[in-house]
Amino acid sequence: MAKKTLTPEQAALPENQKIAKLKPHTADATAQPMTTDHGVKINDDQNSLKAGDRGSTLLEDFILREKITHFDHERIPERVVHARGSGAHGVFKLYKAIPELSKAQFLNDTEIETPVFVRFSTVAGSRGSTDLARDVRGFAVKFYTQEGNFDLVGNNMPVFFIQDAMKFPDLVHAVKPEPDNEMPQAASAHDTFWDFISLMPESAHMIMWLMSDRAIPRSYRMMEGFGVHSFRLINAKGESHFVKFHWKPLLGVHSVAWDEAQNISGKDPDFHRRDLWEAIQSGNFPEWEFGIQVVPEADEHKFDFDLLDPTKIIPEELVPVQRIGKLTLNRNPDNFFAETEQVAFHVGHIVPGIDFTNDPLMQGRLFSYTDTQLIRLGGPNFHEIPINRPVVPVHNNQRDGFMRQTINIGKASYNPNSTGGNDPKQVKETEGGFVSYNERIDARKVRARSKSFFDHYSQAKLFFNSQSQPEKNHIVDAFSFELGKVKTVAIRERMLNVLSQIDLDLRNKVAAKLGIALSKKPEEVINQGIPADAAQKDYQSLKVESSLDKSEALSMATTIKDNIKTRKIAFLVADGVNEASLNMMKKALVAAGAVVEMIGNRQGNVISDKKTAIALDESLLTSCSVFYDAVFVPGGKKSIDALGMEPDAIHFLDEAYKHCKAIALDADASTLLGLTYFGKVSDKKPVNDEGILTGKDKDLADEFIKAIAGHRVWEREQQRKVPA
Ligand code: HDD
């Protein structure tokens, strides 16, 4: 009998090939005897072997020694970046075959489902750090295709900080906790990070993304993913097209407020991990569409940026994203360590039909990923760890090394050989053997960077111009917060000069918040602060105007806002709650796909006006508004009076207001508004605030659903702020 309980939705899923292959490696202890690692049955797992009851412990106790030795070696080094993460299994299904672009089988057969394992992560924090750090999110997908593993190791932002892998260790050293005191954890708001960034104008575009709400997602399920680099697709004729890979979440792209993020970090640092786990567990399988932007070889130099520069996007207005498939995550791992921790991604894991470009960041990555697994996973056989194995057979002449699992038979471990019939055999290209793209290269060896990479600001501007007003305000606040934590004034000033290249209003607003008077014109500071030795290499930023003013896809304001699927709604209740009001709203929300939780002034049950016991999910002590997308207070005089006496209930409403969430109160409960800070300070609804609703029945439910689907009433931030 398997211990793992599957939901009906999960049980109904056909087992994908990867899950089937993992099965023989799983162990289920249900009704099994306890044994040592070597299979000897254990009689007493409570006491060590001693010389007499109180006597000294005997070295002979192999059971104790084995248990403690194993425990002593349970940890492996965490990932040097992306240490904090969470994974899930799923499938990829193609909508549209693209033989004209790629010969990869999984991009040509719309009938097959390719198993995948996905790991989301933050970048800077340690394994135990908060999910809600302001940070880039990793979005790494391992496709177990019939032609071997393809890893798309991307992020939730489409560009990167640096253009050349040579700078990666510097970037990571700068953002990680400072080396003398190991502070701050999982945060970029400190001197070394901004020192580096202010000296690296190529990071300007990425920094705009990092200071935007993209860096504090509402959920992994509500963020985009990007392959970042230009890759190549190779068709059966050997022709190449440049391609950018995209993941578009079907729930839209949404974020939390920064204050909300900070609160969640304290109250539930596992917030994103839990959200992913619970969504999959409850059958709300997260989904993304797979998109490609394709550029023919001949158009390589058609753009006002270099396709090989990873600090640039291809605006969707210039090359639309074609959605060609769907990723669905439908199964949680059985064991975090064995699967999520031991999974090893690598940009260099490609299959026939996909190839690399000369993006210098990508080229460096091609070295780094295997190299890091060698120390993290302890040797060259990490591909044999079950989660890393392809679903197709592996045969070659690689042998031995730490923890080798495979028992290769025969004498031949070399090629050519006659002792083993010259097996395993090389495979012709026409039969699926990998052949690198036949790119023409005729160059001098130089340690340099192309001039075409020196436009550092045009897309940073494009990003800022494309944001809605609330998004722009959040960027101002984020810079003000981050630079406000920087102690060295010269670094703050240098960073403000960088901002002056992007948007003067942005710079001025941040400068005002930092109390720094800046009057220089952008042209006076364009290359200010770049160290002379870098400048010697012709490291000067070029002034380039983007051909576009705005790109709609860059703003989250235009994202999907037509549903409330999987949104979490808190109901505040106490004894005497009006059952009809509660049930009406609950039914409407659940029917629309939301998750409703009852929060009481205690745990256990509350007794409704009809004397029914209503089970509580949480209490005001164990829960708080930041875990929810919206809050509803049902009617029932006794319940409302009790909540009115409860400061935590009022705080719940104030905080939900502060974080721009939809708040609905049954008409009878609207008296509670008078007790809230926001209710007290304004006697009428703030302008544009469609998120505070009172009323009855279906009308209230309909309005509430609309308000929740809108995600947040960001405009509220311009109204009076709540000191919650
Ligand atoms: Fe990286 C992990 C994404 C640049 C070196 N990277 C890692 C992970 C993601 C990315 C999602 C976590 C994978 C997992 O869940 O296990 N990295 C990116 C993206 C980049 C990027 C989108 C730029 C476009 N990375 C990058 C460079 C280098 C590395 C330039 C080194 C030259 N990255 C690593 C690494 C890691 C890693 C040290 C740490 C753990 C691991 O690889 O397995 O090799």
Question: What is the DSSP annotation of 295-320?
Answer: EEGGGTT-SSS-TT-TT----TTTSP
Whether complex ipTM tops 0.95: yes
Nearest to 377 by CA among 347, 346, 406, 349: 346
Question: Would you state the pLDDT for residue 666?
Answer: 97
Which residue's CA is the closest to the ligand 1 atom numbered 25? Answer: 365
696-to-112, 213, 580, 632, 633 alpha-carbon distances in Å:
49, 34, 11, 12, 11
DSSP states of 547-592: S-S--GGG-GGGS--S--TT-EEEEEE-TT--HHHHHHHHHHHHHT
Q: What is the pLDDT of residues 74-110, one digit of tens each?
A: 999 999 999 999 999 999 999 999 999 999 999 999 9
Q: Which two tokens stand for residue 298?
A: 């001949």
Which residue's CA is the closest to the ligand 1 atom numbered 27? Answer: 365
How far does the centroid of ligand 1 lie from the alpha carbon of residue 122, in Å? 11
Phi, psi of 505 (to 5 degrees): -65, -40
Q: What is the pLDDT of residues 161-196, one digit of tens each?
A: 999 999 999 999 999 999 999 999 999 999 999 999
Nearest atom of ligand 1 to the alpha carbon of 154: 22
Nearest atom of ligand 1 to the alpha carbon of 369: 44
Q: Which two tokens stand for residue 353?
A: 């039909």
Nearest atom of ligand 1 to the alpha carbon of 364: 32
Between CA 496 and CA 501 the distance in angstroms is 9
What is the CB neighbour count within 10 angstroms for residue 429?
A: 12
How far does the centroid of ligand 1 lie from the alpha carbon of residue 369, in Å? 7
Report helix, strand or coil for 144.
Answer: strand
Nearest atom of ligand 1 to the alpha carbon of 310: 24
Question: Would you state the pLDDT for residue 529?
Answer: 61
- Residue identified by tokens 């494309």 is 466
Class of domain 85-196+212-388: mainly beta
Between CA 416 and CA 435 the distance in angstroms is 20
Residue 9 in this model has a pLDDT that exceeds 80: no
Are residues 600 and 643 in contact, defined by beta-carbon separation less than 8 angstroms? no
Question: Would you state the pLDDT for residue 326?
Answer: 98
In what order do the strands lie in the sheet containing 692-695? 618-619, 595-600, 568-573, 630-633, 662-666, 692-695
Which residue's CA is the closest to the ligand 1 atom numbered 22? Answer: 154
What is the pLDDT confidence band of residue 546, given thresholds at 50, 70 and 90?
A: confident
How many Cα neighbours within 13 Å face the side chain of 612? 10
Which residue's CA is the closest to the ligand 1 atom numbered 42? Answer: 369
Per-residue pLDDT, averaged over 557-568, amounts to 96
What are the residue ranges spanned by the domains of the chain? 85-196+212-388, 457-557, 561-719
DSSP annotation of 180: T
* Pocket probe mutation, ligand 1, options 78, 226, 365, 377, max atoms within 8 Å of Cβ: 365
* Pocket probe mutation, ligand 1, options 80, 81, 336, 363, max atoms within 8 Å of Cβ: 81
How far does the centroid of ligand 1 lie from the alpha carbon of residue 197, in Å? 19
Q: What is the pLDDT of residues 437-486, one digit of tens each?
A: 999 999 999 999 999 999 999 999 999 999 999 999 999 999 999 999 99
Between CA 119 and CA 341 the distance in angstroms is 9
Between CA 592 and CA 703 the distance in angstroms is 13
CATH pick for 457-557 out of 3.40.50.620, 3.40.50.300, 3.20.20.80, 1.20.1370.20: 1.20.1370.20
How far does the centroid of ligand 1 lie from the alpha carbon of residue 82, in Å? 7
Which residue's CA is the closest to the ligand 1 atom numbered 12? Answer: 82
Strand pairing partners for 142?
Answer: 117, 151
Are residues 520 and 497 in contact, defined by beta-carbon separation less than 8 angstroms? yes
Strand pairing partners for 605?
Answer: 615
Which residue's CA is the closest to the ligand 1 atom numbered 40? Answer: 79
How far does the centroid of ligand 1 lie from the alpha carbon of residue 227, in Å? 11
Nearest atom of ligand 1 to the alpha carbon of 83: 40
What is the pLDDT confidence band of residue 554, given thresholds at 50, 70 and 90?
A: very high
561-719: CATH topology is Rossmann fold (3.40.50)
Which segment of 61-75, 398-412, 686-700 scores lowest on mean pLDDT?
A: 686-700
What is the pLDDT confidence band of residue 523, given thresholds at 50, 70 and 90?
A: confident
Mean pLDDT taken over the chain: 94
What is the pLDDT confidence band of residue 722, given thresholds at 50, 70 and 90?
A: confident
How far does the centroid of ligand 1 lie from the alpha carbon of residue 123, in Å? 9
Residue 239 in this model has a pLDDT that exceeds 90: yes
Question: Would you state the pLDDT for residue 103?
Answer: 98
* Pocket probe mutation, ligand 1, options 142, 224, 345, max atoms within 8 Å of Cβ: 345
State the catalytic residues: 82, 155
What is the pLDDT confidence band of residue 1, given thresholds at 50, 70 and 90?
A: very low
Between CA 199 and CA 494 the distance in angstroms is 8
Which segment of 475-484, 534-543, 702-711 scores lowest on mean pLDDT?
A: 534-543
Q: Do 85-196+212-388 and 561-719 fold alike per CATH?
A: no
Burial of 21 (0-12, 13-18, 19+ CB in 10 A): middle
Nearest atom of ligand 1 to the alpha carbon of 120: 15
DSSP H helix total and E strand total for the chain: 20, 18
Which residues lie with the beta carbon below 6 Å from any ligand 1 atom? 79-82, 85, 119, 121, 138, 140, 153-155, 160, 165, 168, 228-229, 310, 344-345, 361, 364-365, 368-369, 372
Nearest atom of ligand 1 to the alpha carbon of 367: 32
Between CA 88 and CA 387 the distance in angstroms is 11
Q: Which two tokens stand for residue 629?
A: 């997308």
Nearest atom of ligand 1 to the alpha carbon of 155: 22
In the chain, the N- to C-terminal Cα span, in Å, equals: 50
Between CA 57 and CA 59 the distance in angstroms is 7
How far does the centroid of ligand 1 lie from the alpha carbon of residue 155, in Å? 9
* Pocket probe mutation, ligand 1, options 368, 373, 382, max atoms within 8 Å of Cβ: 368
How far does the centroid of ligand 1 lie from the alpha carbon of residue 12, in Å? 35
Question: Would you state the pLDDT for residue 2?
Answer: 44
DSSP annotation of 217: B
Q: Report percent pLDDT > 90 for the chain.
A: 90
* Pocket probe mutation, ligand 1, options 80, 82, 214, 247, max atoms within 8 Å of Cβ: 82
How far does the centroid of ligand 1 lie from the alpha carbon of residue 537, in Å? 27
- Residue identified by tokens 């193609």 is 94
DSSP annotation of 231: E
Question: Would you state the pLDDT for residue 682?
Answer: 62
How far does the centroid of ligand 1 lie from the alpha carbon of residue 170, in Å? 14
Which positions ≥6 away from 650 have C-beta within 8 Å?
A: 643, 644, 672, 675, 676
328: enclosing H helix or E strand: strand 322-331
Question: Would you state the pLDDT for residue 683?
Answer: 52
DSSP states of 273-302: HHHHHHHHHTT---EEEEEEEEEEGGGTT-
Per-residue pLDDT, averaged over 272-301, amounts to 97
